[in-house]
Amino acid sequence: MNSIKSVPARVLSRRGGHSLEAEREQFDKSQAVSISKAINTQEAPVKEKHARRIILGTHHEKGAFTFWSYAIGLPLPSSAILSWKFCHVLHKVLRDGHPNVLQDCQRYRSNIRETGDLWGHLHDRYGQLVSIYTRLLLTKISFHTKHPEFPPALEVSDEVLEKTAGTDVNNIFQLTVELFDYLDCELKLSESVFRQLNTSMAVSQMSAVQCRLAPLIQVIQDCSHLYHYAVKLMFKLHSCLPADTLQGHRDRFHEQFRSLKNFFKKASDMLYFKRLIQIPRLPESPPNFLRASALAEHVKPVVVIPEEAPEDEEPENLIEISTASTMEPQVTSDIFEQTFGPPNGIRDDRDAQIESLKKEVDMLRAEMEKIKLEAQRYITQLKAQVNSLEGEVEEQRKQKQKALVDNEQLRDELERLQRAKQDSDRSQRLCAEAEKKANATEIRYTKLKEKHSELINTHAELLRKNADTAKQLTVTQQSQEEVARVKEQLAFQVEQVKREAEMKLEDQSVQMEQLRQELDARRDELDQAQRSLSHAKQAGAELSAQVEALHAEKEVLRRSVSEKECELLSMCGLIEEKELQRSQEVDKATKEIHELQGRLLEKSNQEQSLQQKLLDEQFGILQEMVREAEDILRDAVAKLDDPLHVRCTSSPDYLLSRAQAALESTDALENGHAQYVASMAADAAGLVGALALFAHLMADTIVNGSATSHLAPTDHADRLMETCRDCGQQSLDYLGELKDKQKLGHAKLGDVRQALQGVLQLAQELRPKSLDIKQEELGDMVEKEMASTSEAIEDAVRRIEEMMSQARNESSGVKLEVNERILNSCTDLMKAIRLLVMTSTNLQKEIVESGRGAATTQEFYAKNSRWTEGLISASKAVGWGATQLVESADRVVLHTGKYEELIVCSHEIAASTAQLVAASKVKAEKSSRNLARLQECSRNVNEMAANVVASTKSGQEQIEEKDTMDFSGMSLIKLKKEEMETQVKVLELEKRLEGERVRLGELRKQHYGLAGAYEAAEEGEAKPAPVPRRGILKKPPLAQKPSLGEPERDAGP
Q: In the 3-class helix/strand/coil scheme, how is 420-452 assigned residue by residue? A: HHHHHHHHHHHHHHHHHHHHHHHHHHHHHHHHH
Distance, CA of 635 to CA of 628 (rounded, Å) = 11
Rounded mean pLDDT, 605-619: 78
Which residue from 552, 688, 696, 695 is spatially nearest to 623, judged by alpha carbons? 688
Residues 136/142/148/152 CA torsion (nearest 10 deg): 20
Cβ neighbours for 36, distance < 8 A, ≥ 6 positions apart: 70
Evaluate if residue 20 carries a pLDDT over 60.
yes
- Can you tell me the distance from the alpha carbon of 27 to that of 15, in angstroms, rounded to the nearest whole number? 18
Q: What angle do CA 50, 53, 54 make, to 5 degrees?
A: 90
Q: What is the CA radius of gyration of the chain?
A: 56
pLDDT at 866 over 60: yes
Question: What residues have CB less than 8 Å from 69, skipping those under 6 apart?
Answer: none
Confidence class for position 259, pLDDT limits 50, 70, 90: very high
Question: Taking the chain, what is the end-to-end CA distance rounded to the nearest angstrom?
Answer: 115
Q: Which one-letter amino acid corresponds to residue 125?
A: R
pLDDT digits (tens, 9 = 90+) for 651-680: 887 888 888 888 888 888 888 888 887 876
DSSP-derived 3-state class of residue 304: strand
Cα 966 from Cα 283, distance rounded (Å): 63
DSSP state of 299: -
Amino acid at 515: L
Quick one: average pLDDT of 412-420?
79
pLDDT at 181: 93
Contact 703, 696 (CB under 8 A): no
- Look at residue 258 in the predicted model and tell me its pLDDT: 92
The pLDDT of residue 1013 is above 50: no
Q: How far apart are CA 489 and CA 787, in angstroms?
A: 128
Cα angle, residue 345 at apex, residues 341 and 347 outer, rounded to 5°: 85
pLDDT-based confidence at 432, cuts 50/70/90? confident
User: Which pLDDT score is estimated for 131?
Assistant: 92
pLDDT at residue 51 is higher than 80: yes
Q: What is the pLDDT of residue 559?
A: 78
pTM above 0.85, yes or no: no
More confident residue, 245 or 879: 245
pLDDT of residue 225: 92
What's the whole-number mean pLDDT along residues 148-163?
88
Q: Does position 12 have pLDDT exceeding 50, yes or no?
A: no
Specify whether the CB–CB gap between 98 and 58 falls below 8 A: yes
> What band does 120 get if pLDDT is binned at 50, 70 and 90?
confident
Q: What 3-state DSSP class applies to 611? A: helix
Please count the other Cβ atoms lying within 10 Å of the Cβ belonging to residue 746.
9
Q: Give the pLDDT confidence score for residue 84 in this predicted structure.
A: 92
Residues in a beta bridge with 278? 304
Does 927 score more than 90 pLDDT? no
Q: How far apart are CA 881 and CA 896, in angstroms?
A: 19
Q: Which residue has the higher pLDDT, 681 or 172?
A: 172
Angle 307-311-313 from CA coordinates, rounded to 5°: 155
Question: Can you tell me the mean pLDDT for 108-127?
Answer: 86
The pLDDT value recorded for residue 362 is 82
Residue 1031 vs residues 573, 672, 707, 1034: alpha-carbon distances, Å? 79, 14, 26, 9
Smallest CA-to-CA distance from 760 within 662, 660, 637, 661 is with: 660
Burial of 945 (0-12, 13-18, 19+ CB in 10 A): buried
Q: Which amino acid is at 609?
A: S
| Res. 720 pLDDT band, cuts 50 70 90 | confident
Residue 350 · residue 11 · CB < 8 Å: no
**What is the structure's pLDDT at 496?**
64
Q: Using an 8 Å Cβ cutoff, are 3 and 353 in contact?
A: yes
Quote the pLDDT of residue 139: 94
Average pLDDT for residues 223-244, to the nearest whole number?
A: 90
DSSP 269: T
> pLDDT above 90 covers what percent of the chain?
11
What is the reported pLDDT for 321?
37
Task: Determine the distance from the C-alpha atom of residue 671 to the mean position of all C-alpha atoms in its chain, rounded to a whole number.
Answer: 38
* Contacts (Cβ under 8 Å, ≥6 apart) of 919: 867, 870, 871, 873, 874, 1047
DSSP label of 278: B
Kindly report which listed range (33-42, 528-537, 804-813, 919-928) carries the lowest average pLDDT score: 528-537
- pLDDT for 281-305, tens place per residue? 888 888 988 888 888 888 888 888 8
Q: CA–CA separation, 748 vs 366, rounded Å?
A: 103
pLDDT class of 311 with cuts at 50, 70, 90: very low
Q: What single-letter amino acid sits at 689?
A: G
Specify the higher pLDDT residue, 215 or 1025.
215
Checking if the pLDDT of 637 tops 90, the result is no
Query: What's the chain's average pLDDT?
Result: 76
Give the separation between CA 144 and CA 96, rounded to whole angstroms: 14
| Rounded CA separation 826/802 (Å) | 13
Q: What is the pLDDT of residues 353-411, one digit of tens each?
A: 788 888 878 888 887 888 878 777 778 777 777 877 877 777 777 777 777 777 777 77
The confidence band for 313, taking pLDDT boundaries of 50, 70 and 90, is very low
pLDDT at 1: 37
Measured CA to CA, the distance from residue 362 to residue 326 in angstroms comes to 11
pLDDT at 480: 57
- Side-chain half-sphere exposure of 662, counting CA atoms within 13 A: 32
Pick the closest to residue 67 from 42, 43, 102 (CA basis): 102
Q: Which pLDDT does position 83 carry in this prediction?
A: 92
Share of the chain above pLDDT 70, in %: 77
